[in-house]
A and B are shown apart, each in its own frame.
Chain A
Amino acid sequence: MSQPIIVSASPHVHSDRTSKKLMYDVVIALIPAFLVSLYVFGIGALIVTAAAVISCLVFEYLIQKYLLKSEITVGDGSALITGILLAFNLPSGIPIWMIVVGSLVAIGIGKLSFGGLGFNIFNPALVGRVFLLISFPVQMTTWPTAVENQTALADAVTGATPLGVIKEGLMFGETMSEIGSRIPSAIDMLLGITGGSIGEMSAIALLIGGIYLIIRKVITWHIPITMLVTMAVMTGIFWLVDGEHYASPVIHILSGGALLGAFFMATDLVTSPMTKKGMIIFAIGIGVITVIIRLFGAYPEGVSFAILIMNAFVPLINTYFKPRRFGSKIKVKIV
């Protein structure tokens, strides 16, 4: 025996799951949505995504190397995901310098200031996104019309998101049936022929990615399904009571960041609860807050805010919603 015998405590085997594999599974799951965005927005989507990814990776490297002088973890895939998710929450055509600023906030403030991967309380990509939304509201809500070489889609891609159109219409006293003609059909929203941020275009692409994540056991159904059901139930009640002033649950689920948020942002492992019970509470919270913002808030869309608000509750949820300890509730009948 050339090499010494290793003595370590059990277990002596390990599953082949690694953090890196989980991260790259998320990246793979985002590919369908990215392809749709390329199709709809053309090169613009590529530029935004590339800018966000590169600046996230570079900032992580620079901050870890020169500011924190800590171990460099650029390769673990988490900064890559933050970059992609940030880009997916931006409109195509946003100035590149804003993307760089957003990435710096996402990585620097959202993640590394808390201690790096695993210690951040808020979803870094959303921290970056919301920072940009509040700082540059005009650019962040200027949705580009279709690219010139894809004239076939020119009619479909509107200048505002469906939720934006609805909010504006209702504010001016229109009813849903009057607004209805100006928002894309449910089929168009499923396919991605609508306006919005890069990654939230096609419901189908996001669903494919989400199902992939569930099959690969990176996430469980608890957060996305609970969140979407909560949204559907809540918007459904309003819609049934007054269909002229409230959009249908179908529109709410398929438009905006609902699916992107449900499958990719709310399920972020680091910033979501650890137990299934906790996940359900967390997801209900996100659903409720999202609907409240969408229906009664100043912004047409509220998924980002809802997730960030619920992120803040995660430590509390983890403290109060613990798994049931084995043997803590006993009722036994011995014959």
Chain B
Amino acid sequence: MLKTFPKGGIHPPENKITSSIGIKRMTVPKVVNVPIAQHIGIPAEIVVDRKDKVEIGQIIAKSGGFVSSNIHSPVAGTVTKIDQIIDTSGYKKQCIVIRTDAKNEANFEEVTYPLLKEIKLEPKEIIQRISDFGIVGLGGATFPSQVKLNVKEGTKLDCLIINGVECEPYLTADHRLMLEKAEEIVVGIKILMKALHLKKAVIGIENNKKDAISIFKNIIKKEDGIQVAALQVKYPQGGEKQLVKAILGREVPKNGLPLDVGVIVHNVGTIFAIYEAIQHTKPLTERVVTVTGKHLETPSNFWVKIGTPIKDLIAEVGGLPEGTRKLVNGGPMMGKAIKNTDVPVTKGTSGILVISEDEASRGKSENCIRCGECVSVCPMGLEPHLLMNLSEKGMYEKASNEDIMTCIECGSCSYVCPSNRPLLDYIRFGKNIVKKLQTSKN
């Protein structure tokens, strides 16, 4: 029996078109737009000026507080302006625009780092380096990594979980990274185990990535304390709470964190970024992005510099096909639809999905037939139909009592609803208001 979380979940078509396509390096963009708010928390503070020359990896914006992160220049070039540019949220956000220096060879060098296994840094130094080098959660949440690692004295912690689940349909960035950089990821895991004084780490991988599972199983034969857990293919297996439950059987308390049950979860992409930062002193300036869609000419996985406009990625895979009706930053279940292809790739961009006419529109919303399907698929044990109703009617206090805030917005309810009801839309709306009410009370 493969491990999985006990309640709810769905099986959307996987559509992992790009799973056998190796990660290629994207052509270096002529211009990068680097937003200063790429992570959860306080935006970084810009430390460069117009016309400044910057080098690859130079800090261009400094961490703005405790929950914040440094931002480094992905290219060598000149800062042309500090501008307001629409990002994936659809709002204009402050961006540092850098023109790539076409003459600077550093931009086009393909650096291949040798595998470095020996970990020289001490735990404190490791965490400091992760903080300095702008590492954030690359699974999509973009939570600054050092905050997760700064565990208070006395906190009980016994396991590190590596999230290699990638349960979103279409996306293969983590899958390819695991196949191509498995050794490095294992070193990355050992770095974190050292930093956190941990003796146990588990890599969770969904069973549709058998090749990755067997690669890791081979490597960890020589390692102590690292295990691989093959997990049942079920969305949202990669949700942090679902993953902890599946692997350790521990249930993260309502409104709690994995730390409350002695666990820290990191995405494989983050682990690789940590490896590069610690072993090769390379800040986070690029990431793997899957550019995919059923009608694209050459859907691919790319190493992309942060700040690359999405239109460059689309051009690289043969342009937008006829009849494109939707562009999604991320996967089809939780990604954000975007309108403007000038939107830059940020630290949280795991994929760009191009959806055509036939799948882009939502069906007409009909009456709820009370089939209870949303209740049975909800991995958090909520009643989406009820939460939607309460949000619609403005009964926010009741919605709060019905645990609306514990919704992880996985979208399973909207996915299965036979009446096409916009369940998650209303739940999000309700959550926003409940959050505002809660903060205004305090």
Q: Does B420 contact A (CB under 8 A)?
A: yes
Report the count of interface residues on B (CB-CB < 8 A).
77
Out of B328, B362, B367, name the residue touching A119 (CB < 8 Å): B367
Which residues on the A side are within 8 Å of B394 (C-beta)?
Answer: none
* Cross-chain contact B12 with A15 (CB below 8 angstroms): yes
Interface residues of A in 1-60 (CB under 8 A from B): 1, 3, 5-15, 17-19, 21-22
* Cross-chain contact A325 with B406 (CB below 8 angstroms): yes
* Cross-chain contact B7 with A270 (CB below 8 angstroms): no
> Which secondary structure characterizes the binding site on chain B?
loop
Q: Does B333 contact A (CB under 8 A)?
A: yes
Instruction: Report A219 CB to chain B, min CB distance, Å.
Output: 9
**Interface stretch (choices A167-175, A245-253, A271-279, A302-310):** A271-279
Q: Does B251 contact A (CB under 8 A)?
A: yes
Q: Does B338 contact A (CB under 8 A)?
A: yes
* Cross-chain contact B324 with A5 (CB below 8 angstroms): yes
Out of B252, B327, B369, name the residue touching A327 (CB < 8 Å): B252
Interface residues of B in 1-42 (CB under 8 A from A): 7, 10, 12-13
* Cross-chain contact A12 with B380 (CB below 8 angstroms): no
* Cross-chain contact B353 with A14 (CB below 8 angstroms): no
* Cross-chain contact B325 with A5 (CB below 8 angstroms): yes
* Cross-chain contact B337 with A17 (CB below 8 angstroms): no
Which residues on the B side are within 8 Å of A271 (C-beta)?
Answer: 370
Q: Does B326 contact A (CB under 8 A)?
A: yes
Which residues on the B side are within 8 Å of A7 (C-beta)?
Answer: 90, 326, 337-339
Q: Which residue of A lies closest to B353 (CB)?
A: A12
* Cross-chain contact B333 with A335 (CB below 8 angstroms): no
Q: Which residue of B lies closest to A218 (CB)?
A: B371
Pair count A-B, CB < 8 A: 171
- Report the bound CA distance from A335 to B158 in whole Å: 6
* Cross-chain contact A332 with B261 (CB below 8 angstroms): yes
* Cross-chain contact B336 with A10 (CB below 8 angstroms): yes
Taking A18-B363, A274-B375 as contacts, is the C-beta distance between A11 and B383 under 8 angstroms? no
- Report the bound CA distance from A1 to B320 in whole Å: 9
- Report the bound CA distance from A6 to B90 in whole Å: 13
Instruction: Report A108 CB to chain B, min CB distance, Å.
Output: 18
Q: Does B424 contact A (CB under 8 A)?
A: yes
Interface residues of B in 68-106 (CB under 8 A from A): 90
- Report the bound CA distance from A18 to B418 in whole Å: 4
Out of A6, A270, A275, A332, name the residue touching B375 (CB < 8 Å): A275
Top 3 A-B residue pairs of the complex, sorted by shortest distance between their CB atoms:
A11-B411, A334-B262, A274-B372
* 26 A-B pairs (CB sep. < 8 Å): A3-B323, A5-B339, A7-B326, A8-B362, A10-B333, A10-B409, A11-B415, A12-B335, A12-B337, A12-B360, A13-B13, A14-B420, A17-B373, A19-B366, A76-B366, A272-B370, A274-B385, A323-B378, A324-B381, A326-B380, A326-B381, A327-B252, A327-B253, A327-B254, A327-B256, A327-B380
Other 15 A-B pairs with CB < 8 A, given A12-B337, A13-B332: A6-B337, A7-B337, A8-B337, A9-B337, A9-B424, A9-B425, A11-B333, A11-B411, A15-B10, A19-B369, A116-B367, A118-B369, A270-B370, A323-B381, A327-B256
